[in-house]
Structure 1
């Protein structure tokens, strides 16, 4: 079978050709990564359906796998925190939609991959909290050096984990990744921590058990190694 993989998308003001209007969009590298490992991608923009939960169950019933994509900050109100001065631009509609999709995916035991913001949404949905401005904690901006640029970060993996099996068990020499985030997961109930940056920042987590439920703070779609997407598509195929 060829798995159908849902990719959550932005709803933003955008310009192309002669148009300058609201659009549903996502960088094409996500879809390319899914296609490269044998899946068919479909975009999932925030819904205006009267019942977000019903819409999420309907969508998930037609999917074989789900990617919670990168994007804007998660609203601090989702984890009962006051906004940090550098926390801005959150999208309540997207937070609500992605949490509903994760609820529906759990009901169906659907394979899930969280990317950057996606990892943060997964942690918050589970009752966790976020570091709202990581440079305050680590003293540098290597994880997100400037707007529109990726940081190069070395990551140490926990050996014997699902993540290590997907990207190659590099728990000793480490893994080089590309990331762009100024927030990070602080608490993650129900998930095991499985990768850390050199400064101690949590860079990946996974749920225990047989279900594929993995989240990374970096952007695997930006690397030639698409092991995480391959793992998601294989789990969806099964």
Structure 2
């Protein structure tokens, strides 16, 4: 079957996954404001057994969106969560905001949490999830983590950047079935602290938090890397487990 062909998205189980989109104002690619999402998010979810549906940024429509889908995947992007949302006193000069997207994603995640719907946060999506759950963020890793790894890799994203140590007896550990896995890395921020009821499920060699989860929820998990690139078998296992939880 050709990659990206319509047959890839015919899922007899109808496990529908809502994905958040990135957004830009007019300029560059288009003379008008536009939404975008990398193709591999949808293809990786389809390979895992899900039917991907992309969700425009309408916070007032969150309840209707959640009625239509079985789970939520909060994607990454080249922007940051507003530091005021986690109680920071200032904003690092590197921080780039997209208020409309953040407002929508917070409403979507909070709505899904209320319904105990499965949620997977990827990279910036993990950071958004952490803040929604009462955690805080490192605003710029090079300035806050002495001896930090290069978390914004200069090699292709389908190649590993570093390993992470998986926390024993977590949901992530059960899914990937390895104490350490190789991951890609494309972020300048990270989770600093987790909220009540959350646990850290993966840590980089420099101590940077690479994964979080809330055990009391049906499936509520975030990872700092991008499993949609399929860097290791653990990535496909994670996406399959997420889709399975949405049944």
Question: What is the TM-score of this pair, normalised by structure 2?
Answer: 0.85
Q: Give the Cα–Cα distance (whole angstroms) in 1 for the partners of residues 178 and 215 of structure 2.
A: 20
Structure 2 match to 1:203: 210
Q: 1:196 to 1:67 in 2, by over 3 A?
A: same
Q: 1:12 to 1:141 in 2, by over 3 A?
A: farther
Instruction: Give unmatched runs, 5+ long, in structure 2.
Output: 1-12
Q: Give the Cα–Cα distance (whole angstroms) in 1 for the partners of residues 31 and 162 of structure 2.
A: 35
Give the 5 Å matches for 1:95-174. 95-136=102-143, 137-140=145-148, 142-146=150-154, 152-167=161-176, 169-171=177-179, 174=180
Q: Judge which range, 124-133 or 7-16, deviates more.
A: 7-16
Alignment partner for residue 59 of structure 1, among 55, 65, 69? 65
Instruction: Give unmatched runs, 5+ long, in structure 1.
Output: none
> Pairwise CA RMSD of aligned residues?
2.0
Q: 1:76 to 1:210 in 2, by over 3 A?
A: closer
- Across the two proteins, how many residue pairs are aligned to each other? 226
Structure 1 match to 2:243: 233
Q: 1:8 to 1:147 in 2, by over 3 A?
A: farther
Name the structure where strand makes up a greater proportion of residues: 1
Give the 5 Å matches for 1:16-27. 19-27=30-38
Q: CA deviation at 1:162?
A: 1.0
Structure 2 match to 1:214: 221
Q: Would you say 1:8 and 2:8 are equivalent positions?
A: no
3-state SS of 2:239 partner: helix
Q: Runs ≥4 in structure 1, deviation > 6 angstroms?
A: none
